[in-house]
Amino acid sequence: MRTRSVFFVALLLLSLGKAVAASPQLPFVSPIFGDNMVLQRGKPNTIWGWSTPGQVVQVEIAGRSATAVTAASGRWQAQIVPPAPGGPYSIKITGPQTVVLREVLVGDVWLCGGQSNMQVGLGAARNGAAEIKAANHPEIRFFVVAQHASYSTTAVPEGSWKITSPQTLGEVGGLSAVAYYFALRLQEDVHVPIGLIQDCIGGTPAETWTSPETLRQLKEFDTQLAELDRLKVKGGPEYGNYIMHWYDDYDIGLKNKSWAADDLDVSTWKTVQLSGGFDELGVSDTPSVCWFRKEITLPDPLPAGRARIYLGVIERMDTTYVNGTWVGASAWVENPRVYFLRDGILRPGKNTVTVRVFKTKPQGGFMTKPDGLRLVLGDAKEIALAGEWKGALSVDARPPHPLPVSFENWPSMPSVLYKGMIEPIAPLALTGAVWYQGEANSERAYQYRKLLPAMIGDWRKLFGQGDFPFYIVSLPAFMHHQDKPVEAAWAEMREAQALTARSVRNSGLAVTIDTGDPDNIHPPDKKVVGERLALNALAQHYGKRIPYQGPTFKSFERVGSALKLHFTNIDGGLVVKGDKLGEFSVAGSDRKWYWADARIEGDAIIVSSTQVPAPVAARYAWQSFPLATLYNGAGLPAVPFRTDDWPAITVISVKTQPSVMKSVP
């Protein structure tokens, strides 16, 4: 299964298709500090930049000052305790030059990390347009860290602080919807300015956000790290993934004159039929890279409106150009390709469509019926793309020809986002972090049990502010419901996330099992997600006496031919939302699972099945898109669980509570 979004792949390739070269000129003040920023209240804030070694730099705010001497490395770093929460204040930084940061507030700063569900902007969320229109929140500020994959430490982050308003939220790449709703709920209860550092990229696995030193300790990423080290020595573009390097090495369609060039002579190419084409090129059953081109004629004038190109499902990945301009690419096999064309790409008269396909399986390539290939103009007129194309073989990749380490065309290499997007903002003073990720690691949930705690420890060590709060979004429902009990990767990932929240100090879990969409990996209901993260923060960090977690499995006992399940976090009692209590299953010693009848008995649930006379284990909401109707009286959904594979549950079910911040006004 590939849980990826073409939208985010396209966004990534626009920014990562070429290496981002680091500027040799380091700024006097790091861009993470700027006008409209939020300083973290209640603790020393480290402020830094670069100057001539030995140069004295002074930082001043509201009558407070701190002095730093620039180190031999060229970096200066000063610590200053900010004034009372609120503002606005100005920060004056003097040295070889003078910089004044204006409209600075003092409050709480949260780091918002993860992949596309954290990255999705407010405009794509349910009721997002109305929310943006009404979003006048001058005390919520945000900094979006620009996407940058790096094979070595990056010094300078790209981005700027913005004040939350209809204008800033409406911009392309604006604030995360989850982060926005998280901040909105916090500010309603805590009444201090909130600063958000958005540091996320769609499709990325957790190892990309983890340091190489920590990954080496896990001993499970040595092969990938060795390849990364080889590419560092080799030099060249820093794509952050393996497939782009592989193309550079082997795809002759990229050598000399690109086969996507608008004026390429294809008179020697073979005539092929799409959707097909690989038979005529002699590679119907073998891994290969083939290029296909088709000339089409469009009306003059072109109709107004945005055109789009449909190519259907492609195995394994495609890169698509129109008139020599890149318009999209995807490595998500199951996702039908739909690429929107920017203004100016199409022209009246002759146009050329070019598609590069890396096929890995027999009869792979274009998997959609011919009528699924089409160009749709702005007035909805369709231009068929099936039929005759020109095709050429670029790489015959059958053994012993090497294949890529992996096929993602977004950042997927270990540590490249830790180096490029986390290190540059440390040691910024902050309150804590919220994390919405796991889709990209869902096939490796057991590994995630070690990886996520290791990453959390990594971040805490890097920022040097102790075990700051770290709150995790449990994956929502996705894909379609199964009629029988099944094993499910997404269920195992939710378990790994819950285990981390229970075992890692000062962390928590926001359960979102009731917010999913069977056909959309980016469910639009982001408000619930943000608010449940906020409940964790309000209860566990800010000391508010509120429920923040739904019913959580604690223990079970045999009662005749049934199991009695006991729970914690049952504020207001156990409640059923929906027509029936579900979805539970039980198994006997043969490990065969059957749906169970379930009923609430006080603060416990009794589960049984006539098909399992002697049950030994139970599960709840254990599939990708389960029926999950168990809540507590506070309206919070139960944490999905299984009793048959939860190590040391009775030991870790009672977590040491973190110290509560005492200075909350």
Structure confidence by residue, pLDDT tens digits, 304-343 = 999 999 999 999 999 999 999 999 999 888 889 999 999 9
3-state helix, strand, coil in the chain (%, to 5): 20, 30, 45
Pair 395, 188: CB distance under 8 Å? no
Question: Residue 403, SS3?
Answer: coil
pLDDT at 8 over 70: no
Predicted confidence band at 10 (pLDDT cuts at 50, 70, 90)?
very low
Tell me which DSSP letter residue 419 carries: I
In angstroms, rounded to a whole number, what is the distance separating the alpha carbons of residues 409 and 427? 30
Per the DSSP assignment, residues forming a β-bridge with 562 are 559
Mean pLDDT of 481-490: 94
pLDDT at 1 over 80: no
Predicted confidence band at 172 (pLDDT cuts at 50, 70, 90)?
low
Percent of the chain with pLDDT over 90: 89
CA angle 470, 8, 446 (to 5 degrees): 45
Q: What is the pLDDT of residues 276-288, one digit of tens each?
A: 899 999 999 999 9
Mean pLDDT, the chain, whole residue set: 92
Predicted confidence band at 648 (pLDDT cuts at 50, 70, 90)?
very low
pLDDT at 657 over 90: no
In angstroms, rounded to a whole number, what is the distance separating the alpha carbons of residues 652 and 649? 5
In angstroms, rounded to a whole number, what is the distance separating the alpha carbons of residues 458 and 470? 12
Pair 342, 310: CB distance under 8 Å? no
E strands present in 507-645: 507-510, 552-559, 562-568, 574-576, 584-587, 593-595, 597-601, 604-608, 617-620, 630-632, 641-642
Q: What is the pLDDT of residues 75-109, one digit of tens each?
A: 999 999 999 999 999 999 999 999 999 999 999 99
The topology (CATH level 3) of 6-209+415-540 is Rossmann fold (3.40.50)
Q: What is the pLDDT of residues 119-160, one digit of tens each?
A: 999 999 999 999 999 999 999 999 999 999 999 999 999 999
Burial state string for 540-576 with b = 16 or more CB within 10 A and e = fewer than 16: bbbeeeebbbbbbbbebeeeeebbbbbbbbbbeebbe
Instruction: Look at 332 and 7; give whichever has higher pLDDT.
Output: 332
Q: What pLDDT score does 665 carry?
A: 26
Q: Retrieve residue 265's tokens.
A: 């002579």
Q: Retrieve residue 252's tokens.
A: 């002759």
Predicted confidence band at 662 (pLDDT cuts at 50, 70, 90)?
very low
Q: What is the pLDDT of residues 19-39, one digit of tens each?
A: 333 335 899 999 999 999 999
Q: What pLDDT score does 290 carry?
A: 97
Q: What is the pLDDT of residues 527-559, one digit of tens each?
A: 999 999 999 999 999 999 999 999 999 999 999
Query: What dotted CATH number matches 248-396?
Result: 2.60.120.260
Verdict on whether the full-model pTM lies above 0.85: yes
pLDDT at 6 over 60: no
CA 130, 132, 136, 142: dihedral to nearest 10 degrees? 150
pLDDT at 583 over 90: yes
Domain ranges of the chain: 6-209+415-540, 248-396, 552-652
Question: Residue 4, SS3?
Answer: coil
Q: Retrieve residue 295's tokens.
A: 């000339």
Q: Which helix (H) or strand (E) holds 166?
A: helix 166-169
Q: Retrieve residue 550's tokens.
A: 């739904």
Q: What pLDDT score does 334 carry?
A: 80
- DSSP H helices, 170-292, are 177-190, 212-218, 222-234, 243-250
pLDDT at 629 over 70: yes
